[in-house]
Amino acid sequence: MNQNYKSDILKGIKSGFPIFIGYFAMSVAYGIIAKGTGFTCFEAIFFSTIVYAGAGQYITLNLLNSGAAMGQIVVTIFLINFRHFLMSASLSAKLKDRKLLPLLSFGITDESFAVAYLNGDNLSSYFTIALNTTSHSGWILGSAVGFLAGNFLPAKLQTILTLSLYIMFIGILVPAVKREFKVLYVILIAGLINVSLGFLIPSGNWNLIISIIIASIIGSFILDIKENSWIIYY
């Protein structure tokens, strides 16, 4: 029995490694900006450790730089991160064992969720926790490095590093579309709704979550669940 857990954990670390790298790159950029916003080294790293929300942390820094109040930031980040509620719900439906849920759920982020979810049928808690922890350590490490040494990077590299989050998203989506073309419809519909809402309600905090919900509902009529189709091989 112990062998199963070990191989699950090893698989989790292996699957998490690309995310580790991607998050490292992204969080170096975050660390640099955090320093510029006036965070102390402890605060910048603490943020990455207990909140652990890439896009959310970036947006927080943006809001602080434009003088937002604490209450405003908390509500905004709550709404922006609320999509993880849906992701946890999706994962919960796929999880075969339910161990250490408080720890497992802590590490649910966009990429780790996508990788965990698309990893196949029998989702194990050990795999997921190993995946999340590997990813998270990249994020924390990069934050520290970015804060302390980021300014030593060539300026051009500092500028383009922020794209790494989206490059990672694409790296996850393109193989999925190759496997099942209809997935592209869901992606595009979600994007379209988000852009449309962006015009109608420019500073809408709900836009992201509404887009995800509507696109997922539409998607449920376009796509069939054949569990095998959603497997991504790394």
Partner 1 sequence: MNYILLIFLLAVVTYLPRMLPFYIFDKDKISYRFRKILNCVPYAALGALIIPGGFNGIKNQQLLSVAGLLIAIVVSYFQKNIILTMVITLAILYPFA
- In whole angstroms, the minimum distance from the beta carbon of 13 to partner 1 comes to 14
- In whole angstroms, the minimum distance from the beta carbon of 2 to partner 1 comes to 24
Nearer to partner 1, 2 or 67 (CB): 67
- In whole angstroms, the minimum distance from the beta carbon of 4 to partner 1 comes to 19
Which of 115, 55, 43, 119 shows the shortest CA–CA distance to 82? 55
Measuring CA to CA, how many Å separate 111 from each of 72, 170, 212? 26, 10, 15
Nearer to partner 1, 6 or 195 (CB): 195
Nearer to partner 1, 2 or 154 (CB): 154
For 95, the 3-state DSSP assignment is strand
Whole-angstrom Cα distance, residue 147 to residue 149?
6
Nearer to partner 1, 6 or 43 (CB): 43
Residue located via tokens 């509404």: 210
For 40, the 3-state DSSP assignment is coil
Q: How many CB atoms lie within 10 A of CB 6?
A: 10
- In whole angstroms, the minimum distance from the beta carbon of 108 to partner 1 comes to 5
